[in-house]
């Protein structure tokens, strides 16, 4: 839960407070007599906005403690008290170096997956046709399967030998050559996919 709290101008907050340490507990009182107590989550010195987090009594569906976050404009506070100050660490640990090879590998895999999806997707093909295309692309390799467009009919072309016409059933499988082994394999895969849906 996030709420913004602001009071009227003319606050007496000391101008010397230039920053708050994240994790410190702060109590603020606005000129509308609303009091907010919570741990500092963020502070922006330029706008004098302070974000506080305070646990609330009820718990979420997963049993985790819920927190209420309040944004307080310090220009409109009449009283401010640091209840508990958290000291800044003397030595801030240096983060581990990025593994650029791992990041590049992730990027390449993401690009490959998107290209694979784009190649398997055709806007005029049913989800069944797309599923069959993807299955053959996974089994045989992406370079062994392609879309064959003839007027309004979009077929799946497997290994430049077997054609699967819409609506992509076993009865719609044709072959130009005598590739009986491949034809039997394609019929079996199409039958399996059609029986699952």
Higher pLDDT: 155 or 11? It is 155
- In this predicted model, what pLDDT tens digit does every residue of 62-98 receive, in sequence order? 777 788 998 998 888 888 888 998 887 777 777 788 8
**Treating both helix axes as pointing N-terminal to C-terminal, what angle do 127-140 and 100-120 enclose, rounded to 10 degrees?**
130
Q: Which residues pair with 68 in a beta bridge?
A: 54
Q: Which three-class secondary structure state does DSSP give residue 130?
A: helix
- In this predicted model, what pLDDT tens digit does every residue of 42-69 receive, in sequence order? 888 888 889 999 888 777 667 777 889 9
């Amino acid at each position: 839960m996030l709420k913004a709290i602001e009071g009227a101008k003319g606050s007496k907050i000391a101008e010397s407070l230039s920053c708050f340490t994240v994790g410190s507990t702060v109590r603020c009182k606005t000129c509308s007599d609303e009091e907010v107590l919570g741990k500092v989550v963020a502070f922006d010195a330029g706008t004098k906005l302070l974000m506080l987090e305070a646990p609330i009594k009820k718990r979420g569906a997963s049993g985790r403690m819920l927190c209420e976050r309040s944004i307080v404009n310090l220009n409109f506070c009449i009283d401010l008290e640091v209840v508990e100050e958290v000291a800044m660490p003397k030595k801030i640990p240096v983060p581990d170096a990025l593994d650029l090879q791992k990041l590049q590998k992730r990027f390449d895999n993401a690009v490959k997956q998107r290209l694979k999806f784009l190649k398997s997707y055709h806007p005029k093909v049913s989800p069944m046709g797309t599923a069959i295309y993807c299955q053959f692309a996974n089994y045989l390799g992406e370079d062994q399967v392609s879309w064959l467009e003839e007027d309004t009919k979009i077929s799946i072309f497997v290994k430049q030998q077997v054609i699967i016409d819409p609506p992509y059933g076993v009865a719609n499988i044709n072959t130009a050559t005598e590739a009986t082994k491949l034809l039997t394999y394609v019929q079996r895969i199409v039958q399996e996919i059609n029986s699952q849906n």
